Amino acid sequence: MSTSEERLLARVALTWLTEPGTWAVHRLVQQLGPVTALELMLDGGARDGRLRAAVAARTAAGDARAAAAEALARTDRVGARILTPEDAEWPARLDGLHRLVLPGASRRVDLETAPPLCFWVRGAWPLGEVLDRSVAVVGARAATPYGVHVATEIGYGLADRDWTVVSGGAFGIDAAAHRGALTAGGVTVAVLACGVDRPYPMGNAALFDRIAETGLLVSEWLPGSDPLRPRFLIRNRVIAAATRGTVLVEASARSGATQTANRAIAMGRRAMVVPGPVTSAMSVGAHELLREQPDARLVTGVPHVLEEVGRIGADLAAPARGPDRPVDLLDDEATLVLESLPRRGVLGLDALAARAGVDVRTAMRKLALLEELSMVVRRDGGYALGPAPKPARASTVPGPVTGR
């Protein structure tokens, strides 16, 4: 029977041999275990022809076990750790990748969406624990000031309510969401498309250092791995699967962020979209997602996000409404009497009642109420509007006033 060290070495070697997400590798590991699966692949016994070709190309460049041993040593040097599905802190939500089927998929990144073989992690938090209550906030790299503002607010608000903010560490929306969470003193996780020892882009190096200190840097690739373009798309399946929901803040017509949201929908996760100006190129992808995906929900802030991902009945967003006004307290007859008064000058009781369409007795009763509320003042010859009232607070409003 293989030891845990042998199984770990085999998983790292398999990750070096093929790109993460390869279903043929995942199935072999599930059936045979990582050690036997590695031996079979190195012997050229994989049934999948494309997989055999990929393994042959990699082994021509070096020895898989030696590369894995070097990766393990480098992991220690950079202050990281390796997690596998055998570890207690492995994120259970990644099992959702078994349900990920994208209709009409033809590209490799849309077909090869298997769960990770292992993770490299920098940071002290238990990965599964922080991801159990997490939301992804993703979007355009070339974000507008509007998008940066919204992403920062959402990142701050989620972290302030003890939710983990997950993103990809890129410029624009990703960085804004991470910074918002850090400003709130919360936990944020950056899922990378390269080694944890060389986060990309380098312009965010200081941000990555802060995340490693107070949150987590996570990657499926060996330390030192380059941020190749396809790897960002491979990485996105993890962001979608590991979180309770994905918020798309801004996205152009061809954006990898919309891919993350689509993967969330395909796994039954919540996909949320922040609307933007219809004149902005950074809103096109977000708006198209709303049009094309019935399961995508429009959100405008943290309350809407929490309503989607929080506990049923416990995180409902308050309905949007304008500021409360004193006239909101009045019943229909009192409103008619008030609105019938001239903006300037005085109007007698009989004329006011006729203008409001109520009898004189009703007009007198409502005028007494309006005087009590300082909305109307009595003057010689009739009634006039009172001074401009101050807005009333909603929390002090018991309901409509119907009379004395």
Classify residue 103 by its DSSP letter. Answer: T
Average pLDDT (209-226) is 97
Helix, coil or strand: residue 384: strand
β-partners of residue 122 are 217
For 345-393, write each residue's pLDDT tens digit. Answer: 899 999 999 999 999 999 999 999 998 888 999 988 899 998 875 554 4
CA 367, 369, 374, 379: dihedral to nearest 10 degrees? 30
Reading across the β-sheet that carries 216-219, which strands appear in turn? Answer: 81-83, 119-122, 216-219, 188-192, 164-167, 134-138, 245-248, 270-273, 296-298
Q: Residues 90, 20: contact at Cβ < 8 Å?
A: no
Distance, in Å, from the CA atom of 307 to the CA atom of 316, rounded to the nearest integer, reads 5
Q: Give the model's pLDDT for residue 381.
A: 82
Query: What would the pLDDT profile of 143-166 be if each residue is shown by its tens digit?
Result: 999 999 999 999 999 999 999 999
For residue 395, the model assigns a pLDDT of: 41
Percent over 90 (pLDDT), the chain: 82
Look up residue 311 and give its amino acid. R
* Angstrom distance (rounded) from CA 90 to CA 121: 11
Quick one: pLDDT at residue 321? 57
Distance CA 120, CA 337 (A): 72
Q: Is 232:168 a contact under the CB 8 Å cutoff?
A: yes
User: How is domain 78-309 classified at the CATH fold level?
Assistant: Rossmann fold (3.40.50)
Model confidence over 242-278: pLDDT tens digits? 999 999 999 999 888 999 999 999 999 999 999 999 9
- Reported pTM: 0.82
Residue range 326-396, CATH number: 1.10.10.10
Q: How far is CA 387 from CA 212, 363, 370, in A?
A: 59, 20, 12
Which of these ranges, 73-87, 137-151, 319-333, has the smallest mean pLDDT?
A: 319-333
CA gap 360, 352 in Å, rounded: 9
Task: Render the burial of 278-295: b for 16+ CB within 10 Å, e for the rest.
Answer: eebebbbbbbebbeebee
Q: Which residues contact 78 (CB under 8 A, 6 or more apart)?
A: 122, 196, 197, 223
Length of the chain: 404
Phi-psi region of 121 (alpha: psi -120 to 50; beta: other; left: phi over 0): beta
With CA atoms as reference, report the closest residue to 23 among 240, 245, 237: 237
- The shares of helix, strand and coil residues in the chain, as percent rounded to the nearest 5, are 50, 10, 40
pLDDT mean over 226-240? 96
- Split at pLDDT 50, 70, 90, the class of 402 is very low
Q: Mean per-residue pLDDT for 294-323?
A: 79
Domain positions in the chain are 1-66, 78-309, 326-396
pLDDT tens column, 163-212: 999 999 999 999 999 999 999 999 999 999 999 999 899 999 999 999 99
Q: Are 189 and 158 in contact (CB under 8 A)?
A: no
Per the CB < 8 A criterion, the answer to whether 16 and 70 are in contact is no
Q: What is the DSSP letter of 114?
A: P
Per cent of the chain over pLDDT 70 is 92
Quick one: tokens of 297? 């929900």
Let me know: does 235 contact 190? Beta carbons within 8 Å: no
Structure tokens at 49: 């022809």
What does the pLDDT read at residue 45?
Answer: 86
